[in-house]
Amino acid sequence: MYAVLYIINAVNSKDIILGKLNEQQRVAVQTTEGPLLVFAGAGSGKTRVITNRIAYLITEKNVSPKNIMAVTFTKKAAGEMQERVVSLLKELNIDTKDVPLIGTFHSIGALFLRQNARDVGLMPNFSICDSTDTENLIKDILIEKNIDVKQIKPESIAYFISDAKNELISPEQFSQHYGGFIEDIVADIYPLYQKQLRLQNSVDFGDLIYLTVKLLSEDKKVLSYYQDIYRYILIDEYQDTNTAQYMFAKLLSQKYQNICVVGDDDQGIYGWRGADIKNIQSFERDFKNVKVVKLEQNYRSTGNVISAAMSVIQQNVFRVNKKLWTEKDSGNPITVYQARDQDDEAQYVVDEINRLRKNGISLVDIAVLYRTNYQSRAIEEAMLKNGIPYKLVGGFRFYDRKEIKDILSYMRFIFNLKDDLSITRVLNTPNRKIGPKSIAAIHSIAKKCGCSIGEVLVGAYSIKNSLEKHEEMDDREYKKVESVMDDIMNFSPIVDLFGSLYFGSQGMDVLSVIDLILEKTKYIEWFDDSSQEAEYKKENIEELKNVAAAYSQKFGNNSLEIFLQEINLIELEQSKNQDGSGNYVNLMTLHSSKGLEFDYVFIVGVEEGILPHSRSFTDEEELEEERRLCYVGITRAKEKLYLTFSERRLSREGYSTQIPSRFLGEIPQNICDYYSWQS
């Protein structure tokens, strides 16, 4: 009787785990021993394979959950995987008191370090520094060494140190791998920074993997302990691993070789943050007797979308050969639209969304994707003007981005001396060593004068430079400012800056005002380093200048007032745009779209210099990553794909002619419908 029930339960378990899988998915789930490389194409059901494989190990191979480790890249992905595994085990009537270790590389690294803290010179209660803590610590070291933090920014040093840790480069080895002016400074700061971290019983984010790998490499006893516990290792998104993460996985799996890595080299789009696509491409060389499984059936997209995606990605030379396919029919043709300019492009997208909306399509099923953040500006404004709710995924609305808000605050100060909110925002931006006490003191001086902060600063500048008082200030106010000159001149650099900005900008058009702000404040120099984030900030500022240029050309010296008025209206519309329904069009970068899917997808700005990005023109590897990025964007679409490009784009010099992206030319014409603003 019990034997019969066991057999029935075993059959039921297998049916639950394997019943809905295709042949290749079953192979991936059932290949439990030895190294396994799973190439999981876009929309091929890799998450189901990973979770079902864990369940199969537990139910069919009698592997204890304590002997299984599953690693992914984000806290969200780890949480979702945990939920799916627990749900599946409950469906199989398996006790979920003990579950596999499922987490990110960094969370698992932190766990290992706390368990072995003293072996790496730490106490178990060590703190984990965030980016602000890291930069402040580096800043203190720079000041101690008499290095000007305005010239050598702490965030630049932090960037190089983080990169070094990702590459497993120690402080002692740094100078052997990096060369240059700032790198020589980093070589000096890096060991001092690490020493200071230890004195504070702290680690930074990079240490969580760097120190863990160091521990496992140097302490064979500790390594063997973890190898014996985690005999079965699964790693998701393996194409996104960096050198440190790669070594972590290699060391842990050395003894039993039961490592399953899942990924897709065609979706490797994070080279700029240290990911090395060669890790997945060379997996077969790193391990012996590797079983390779290719999940090539796509369950997400129509035939035309898959055809477009494959036609693009197959142009890459450095990729593993595989071909995505689907049982779905061809579906809608790919729509390619040639816009007159970015405003026409945005309006076309909005018009199409309105048409889809009228046909019963929910806004939440629509996504607009773009290569870089600055491109959202035109789309956002078109959506606001047409009353279409939208949500920025993985970022801020254009006019909510810090660098844009900072520059707008300077502009509002120039336009309105009484705008204390705007002035307060930028009193210490860029950093001028003006702390909360100093800001409070400036507020107190202004209150004593009965003036705004702007009036005090400008008035003090006038007096200091023996100029006549500004016409906006009456005698009473002027005398009050004069009486506290001694107090305010303690902040002489602030007085000089804001005074010169105010008087220097009078009679200027809005573009010239922005140029003056950037010049006087050295705002771009403040954050400019080799990071991707800095590049995005510069692109956003350039887009703001492009918009300002149009106002300057049209309205001349009145353009500042009209521009700020328009921005205020946009911000008002943004506040109204949040209707609480949850039904929004999704706006995001191509990078942010990875792992998501939508019925209707627009990819805008498919032009040379944007997609692919101009910096890839001279680097074959970067160009291939741009093509992978395009592939990722295309494969987000389930039902319908739109690709748009502009004939020209507005810049401060006027309109520049744009060239359609080479990726458009790689898509078969017979699956596309072509439209133009001229037709």
3-class SS string, 86-136: HHHHHHCCCCCCCCCEEEEHHHHHHHHHHHCHHHHCCCCCCEEECHHHHHH
Residue of higher predicted confidence among 579 and 84: 84
- pLDDT of 442 reads 79
Mean pLDDT of 7-36: 85
Q: In this predicted model, what pLDDT tens digit does every residue of 518-550 receive, in sequence order?
A: 999 999 888 877 677 888 899 899 999 988 988
- Catalytic residue, chosen from 51, 72, 267, 326, is 267
pLDDT at 6 over 50: no
Q: Which of 636, 638, 640, 649 is catalytic?
A: 636
Active-site residue, 355 included: no
Cα–Cα–Cα angle for 422, 427, 430, rounded to 5 degrees: 110
**171 membership: H or E segment, kind and range:** none
| This prediction's pTM | 0.83
Reported as half-sphere exposure (CB side, CA atoms, 13 A), residue 198 has a value of: 12
Reported as type and span, the H/E element at residue 256 is none
How confident is the model over 126-154, as a mean pLDDT?
89
- Owner of token pair 């969304």: 353
Average pLDDT over residues 627-631: 97
CB count within 10 Å of CB 471 equals 6
Residue 237 annotated in active site: yes
The identity of residue 127, as a single letter, is S
CA atoms within 13 A on the CB side of 486: 1
Contact 69, 101 (CB under 8 A): yes
Q: Which long-range contacts (CB under 8 A, 24 or more apart) does 74-80 make?
A: 74/104, 75/104, 75/107, 77/104, 77/236, 77/237, 77/595, 78/102, 78/103, 78/104, 78/107, 80/47
Q: Could you confirm whether 46 is annotated as catalytic?
A: yes
Predicted local distance difference test score (pLDDT) of residue 663: 98
- Comparing CA positions, the residue from 417, 415, 385, 379 lying closest to residue 398 is 379
The answer to whether 97 and 68 are in contact (CB under 8 A) is no
pLDDT band at 479 (very low <50, low <70, confident <90, very high): low
Q: Where does 318-417 show beta strands of DSSP type E?
A: 334-339, 366-370, 390-392
Cα angle for residues 184, 403, 576 (degrees, 5° grid)? 155
- How far is residue 418's CA from residue 156's CA, in Å, rounded to a whole number? 36
User: Residue 2: is its pLDDT beyond 70?
Assistant: no
Instruction: Work out the pLDDT band at 553, boundaries 50, 70, 90.
Output: confident
Residue pointed to by tokens 């748009």 = 644
What's the rounded mean pLDDT across residues 636-662? 90
Task: Exactly one of 46, 53, 294, 401 is catalytic; name it.
Answer: 46
Quick check: 229 and 66 in contact, CB under 8 A? yes
Catalytic annotation on 236? yes
Average pLDDT, the chain: 88
Give the DSSP H or E segment for 292: strand 291-295
The DSSP call for residue 401 is: S
330-348 pLDDT per residue, tens: 999 999 999 999 999 999 9
* Whether pLDDT at 406 is above 90: yes
* Residue 13 pLDDT > 90: no
DSSP letter, residue 610: B
- The band of 14, judged by pLDDT with boundaries at 50, 70 and 90, is confident
pLDDT value at residue 469: 46
Residue 150, phi then psi, degrees to nearest 5: -80, -30
* Predicted confidence (pLDDT) at residue 488 exceeds the cutoff of 90: no
Kindly indicate the confidence band of residue 485, based on its pLDDT and cuts at 50, 70 and 90: low
User: Can you say whether the dihedral through the CA atoms of 201, 207, 213, 217 is positive or negative?
Assistant: negative
What is the C-alpha to C-alpha distance for residues 114 and 129, in angstroms, rounded to an integer?
15
> Which pLDDT does position 8 carry in this prediction?
42
pLDDT in tens, 226-249: 999 999 999 999 999 999 999 999
Q: Which residue in the list 31, 32, 47, 553 is annotated as catalytic?
A: 47
Q: 164 Cβ partners below 8 Å, 6+ apart?
A: 170, 174, 177, 178, 186, 190
Dihedral angle sign, alpha carbons of residues 88, 94, 95, 97: negative
With 50 as the cut, is the pLDDT of residue 101 above it? Answer: yes
**pLDDT for 358-369, tens place per residue?**
999 999 999 999
- Burial class from Cβ neighbours inside 10 Å (0-12, 13-18, 19+) for residue 222 reads middle
Decide which of 576 and 669 is more confident.
Answer: 669
Three-point CA angle 306, 308, 314, nearest 5°: 95
Q: Looking at 237, 380, 626, 647, which residue is catalytic?
A: 237
Residue 433, CB-side half-sphere exposure with 13 Å CA sphere: 10
Element (H, E) at 343: helix 342-358
Buried b or exposed e, range 435-450, using 16+ CB within 10 angstroms: eeebbebbeebbeebe
235 beta partners: 71, 261
Q: Which of the two residues, 491 and 104, has the higher pLDDT score?
A: 104
Please indicate whether residue 167 is annotated as part of the active site. Answer: no
Which entry of 163, 204, 207, 236 is annotated as an active-site residue?
236
**Which pLDDT does position 468 carry in this prediction?**
46
**Average pLDDT, stretch 178-199?**
91
Q: CA–CA separation, 605 vs 566, rounded Å? A: 25
Among residues 106, 34, 95, 108, which one has the least CA distance to residue 69? 108
Q: Would you call 140 a catalytic residue per the annotation? A: no
Lowest-pLDDT range of 251-260, 564-573, 658-667: 564-573
pLDDT attached to residue 530: 66
Q: State the maximum Cα–Cα separation within the chain, in Å, rounded to a whole number.
A: 105
